[in-house]
Amino acid sequence: MEVSGGDGESTVIGGCFWRWFCSVFVVILWLNLDRGRLGKSSKAFNVFGTIAQSYQNVSLGSSLTTSDVTTFWPSPSGEFAFVFQRIGNGSGFLLAIWFNKITEKTIVWSANRNSLAPDGSKVQLSTNGRLVLTDPNGREMWARPKAIAELAYGAVLDNGNFVLAASSSATAWQSFNEPTDTIVPGQVLNLDNSLVSSFSDTNSSIGRFKFILQTDGNLVIFNQSGYIFLQAKNGTLLNSIFSNGENSGTQSMYHRAILEYDGVFRHYVYSKTSSGMQMEWSTLYYVPENICLAITQDIGGGACVFNSLCSVVNRRPRCDFPLGYMLNDPNDKLGSCRRNFSEQDCNRESREVEAFNFQEMNNTNWPDSDYESYGGFLRIGANKLFE
Higher-confidence position of 124 and 104: 124
Which of these ranges, 24-38, 68-82, 103-117, has the smallest mean pLDDT?
24-38
Would you say how long the chain is, in residues?
Answer: 387
Higher-confidence position of 189 and 274: 189
Q: What is the pLDDT of residue 156?
A: 95
* Range with top average pLDDT, 33-42, 198-207, 308-317, 365-374: 198-207
Instruction: Band the pLDDT of 63: cuts 50, 70, 90.
Output: very high
Q: What is the pLDDT of residue 58?
A: 93
Alpha helices in the chain (DSSP H): 291-294, 382-385
* Calpha distance 225→247 (Å, rounded): 8
For 368, other C-beta atoms within 10 Å of its C-beta total 16
Please say if the pLDDT value at position 313 is more than 80.
yes
* Calpha distance 215→217 (Å, rounded): 6
* Calpha distance 93→87 (Å, rounded): 6
Whether the Cβ atoms of residue 132 and residue 151 lie closer than 8 Å to each other: no
Instruction: Band the pLDDT of 101: cuts 50, 70, 90.
Output: very high
* Calpha distance 261→335 (Å, rounded): 11
Q: What is the pLDDT of residue 236?
A: 84
Query: What are the distances in angstroms from CA 205 to CA 76, 246, 317?
Result: 30, 33, 20
* Calpha distance 19→201 (Å, rounded): 22
Q: What is the pLDDT of residue 361?
A: 79
Which of these ranges, 9-13, 277-281, 318-322, 358-362, has the smallest mean pLDDT?
9-13
Whether the Cβ atoms of residue 99 and residue 86 lie closer than 8 Å to each other: no
* Range with top average pLDDT, 70-79, 343-352, 366-375: 70-79
Q: What is the pLDDT of residue 350?
A: 54
Mean pLDDT of 287-314: 79
| Helix/strand/coil for 143 | strand
Q: What is the pLDDT of residue 254?
A: 93
* Calpha distance 379→247 (Å, rounded): 58
* Calpha distance 2→366 (Å, rounded): 9
Q: What is the pLDDT of residue 259?
A: 96
Cβ burial of 111 (10 Å; 0-12, 13-18, 19+) is buried
Mean pLDDT of 50-64: 72
| pLDDT, the chain, mean | 77
Report percent pLDDT > 70 for the chain: 73
| Helix/strand/coil for 256 | strand
How does strand 364-365 pair with strand 11-13?
Answer: parallel
Instruction: Band the pLDDT of 48: cuts 50, 70, 90.
Output: very low
Q: What is the pLDDT of residue 19?
A: 34
Beta partners for 40? none
Mean pLDDT of 358-375: 68
My answer on whether omega of the bond before 322 falls inside 30° of 0, hence cis, is: no
Q: What is the pLDDT of residue 374?
A: 57
* Strand ranges (E), 60-174: 63-65, 73-74, 80-86, 93-99, 107-110, 122-125, 131-134, 140-144, 151-156, 162-166, 171-174
Express each pLDDT in 172-217 by its tens digit.
Answer: 999 999 999 999 999 999 888 899 999 988 889 999 899 988 777 7
Question: What's the whole-model pTM score?
Answer: 0.78
Q: What is the pLDDT of residue 35?
A: 25
Express each pLDDT in 133-168 by its tens digit.
Answer: 999 999 999 999 887 778 899 999 999 999 999 888
Question: What is the identity of the amino acid at 172?
Answer: A
Mean pLDDT of 73-101: 92
Express each pLDDT in 224-250 by its tens digit.
Answer: 888 888 888 888 888 777 766 555 677
Q: What is the pLDDT of residue 20?
A: 36
* Calpha distance 74→56 (Å, rounded): 8
For 212, other C-beta atoms within 10 Å of its C-beta total 15
Express each pLDDT in 3-45 by its tens digit.
Answer: 233 333 444 433 333 333 333 322 222 222 222 223 334 433 2
Report percent pLDDT > 90 for the chain: 36
Please say if the pLDDT value at position 81 is more than 60.
yes
End-to-end C-alpha distance for the chain, whole angstroms: 30
User: DSSP characters for 26-75?
Assistant: -----EE-TT----SEEEEEETTSS-EEEEEEEETT-EEETT-TT--EE-
* Calpha distance 218→231 (Å, rounded): 6
